[in-house]
């Protein structure tokens, strides 16, 4: 139906075509290389047109949510989306016209394209200022989520803001893994993750785990205070608690990364300096014994091998 409607010249029903494209992305997990270009161009065109109208923001939200469903492993040519998605993001940065879910979805669609197109890194980091914008959105979510609600009070339900927050972590995971360049806004983003971790530590287990598993470089974790936050978690967690093991894995990952050889003498010196700071911090606070104790007891109980 999409192909037939797209090929019509005079009687093309644009509304029907956009609806079909939207459903195609929302209801599928495997996409066709023939349909992707058609659907992306039509949805972005409609999102851009309606994005200027306040009364159409729910429609725009569904358009961008549909686009955000496209896998990061699917290559899409820049000419099909880049100018339009940049216009959508930059217009929102100036006018704040979209819903929070719309904005997150727009970023998720763009960040997922980096895997196959490294040239997008400069656009994402320095032109569109992803770290600054993500920090602003995370700070808003920190204020909106009811962190004090217990598991019993939740009754298995999750707030819309928590869903958006968890979606941001999926986007951040790709960003931290894909973007090698950083600007001065990066530390602010790491600091937001640490703040979310501290807020979530009592009642929001899923969010805490997402914070722990964020793929950030060790020196950035030190600057942002993440090492302290994770160390505190080990002290407060039970030895058979999954969180204690996640935290232990976090430290083992950090130490493993620090043992890697640098590309040159300067990087090697920086890595050694970071390693020294981390060991000093662990020894000063007594965290090293906690980590070793967690590993020993976990092995005895058969939790890890």
* Residues whose CB is less than 8 angstroms from the CB of residue 75 and which lie 6 or more positions away in sequence, other chains included: 116, 117
End-to-end CA distance of the chain: 54
- pLDDT value for 55: 79
- pLDDT value for 232: 60
Count CB-CB contacts under 10 A for residue 52.
Answer: 11
Sign, CA dihedral 141-144-148-149, equals negative
- Domains of the chain: total: 3
Count CB-CB contacts under 10 A for residue 1.
Answer: 10
- Asked if 190 contacts 231 with a C-beta cutoff of 8 angstroms, the reply is no
> Is pLDDT larger for residue 153 or for residue 251?
153
- Asked if 142 contacts 128 with a C-beta cutoff of 8 angstroms, the reply is no
d(CA 225, CA 285): 14
Sign, CA dihedral 122-123-129-130, equals negative
Same domain, 4 and 105: yes
Same domain, 187 and 255: no
Is 64 inside a domain boundary? yes
Same domain, 81 and 22: yes
Maximum average pLDDT range among 224-228, 264-268, 291-295: 264-268
Q: What is the mean pLDDT of the chain?
A: 79
Q: Please report how the helices 242-259 and 226-236 are oriented relative to each other, as an axis angle in degrees rounded to 10.
A: 140
- pLDDT value for 62: 95
- pLDDT value for 165: 93
Reported as a pLDDT band with limits 50, 70 and 90, residue 240 is very low
pTM: 0.76
Alpha-carbon dihedral of residues 34, 38, 39, 45, nearest 10 degrees?
160
Reported as a pLDDT band with limits 50, 70 and 90, residue 16 is very high
The yes-or-no verdict on residue 238 having pLDDT over 50 is: no
Same domain, 6 and 98: yes
d(CA 68, CA 259): 37
Same domain, 64 and 105: yes
Maximum average pLDDT range among 137-151, 174-188, 272-286: 137-151
- What does the pLDDT average to over 54-62? 89
Range of the domain at 190: 129-149+157-211
Same domain, 140 and 79: no
Reported as a pLDDT band with limits 50, 70 and 90, residue 201 is confident
Is 216 inside a domain boundary? no
């Amino acid at each position: 139906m999409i192909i037939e409607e797209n090929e019509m010249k005079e009687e093309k029903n644009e509304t029907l075509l956009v609806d079909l494209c939207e459903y195609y992305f929302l209801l599928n997990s495997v996409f066709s290389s023939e349909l992707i270009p058609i659907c992306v161009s039509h949805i972005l065109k409609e999102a851009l047109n309606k994005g200027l109208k306040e009364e159409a923001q729910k429609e725009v939200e569904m358009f961008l949510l549909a686009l955000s469903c496209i896998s990061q492993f699917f290559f899409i040519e820049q000419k099909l989306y880049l100018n339009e998605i940049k216009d959508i993001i930059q217009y929102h940065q100036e006018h704040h016209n979209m819903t929070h879910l719309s904005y997150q979805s727009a970023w998720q669609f763009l960040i997922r394209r980096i895997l196959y197109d490294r040239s997008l890194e400069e656009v994402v980091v320095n032109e569109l200022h992803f770290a600054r914008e993500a920090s602003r959105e995370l700070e808003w979510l920190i204020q909106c989520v009811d962190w004090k609600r217990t598991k019993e009070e939740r009754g298995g339900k999750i707030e819309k803001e928590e869903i958006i927050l968890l979606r941001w972590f999926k986007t951040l995971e790709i960003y931290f893994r894909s973007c090698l360049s950083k600007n001065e806004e990066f530390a602010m983003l790491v600091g937001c993750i640490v703040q979310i971790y501290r807020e979530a530590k009592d009642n929001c287990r899923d969010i805490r785990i997402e914070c722990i598993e964020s793929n950030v470089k060790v020196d950035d974790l030190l600057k942002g205070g993440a090492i302290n936050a994770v160390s505190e978690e080990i002290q407060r967690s039970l030895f058979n608690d999954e969180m204690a093991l996640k935290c232990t894995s976090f430290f083992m990952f950090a130490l493993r990364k620090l043992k890697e050889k640098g590309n040159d003498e300067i990087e090697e010196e920086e890595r050694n300096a970071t390693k020294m700071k981390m060991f000093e911090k662990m020894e000063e606070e007594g965290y090293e014994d906690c980590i070793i104790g967690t590993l020993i007891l976990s092995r005895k109980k058969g939790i890890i091998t």
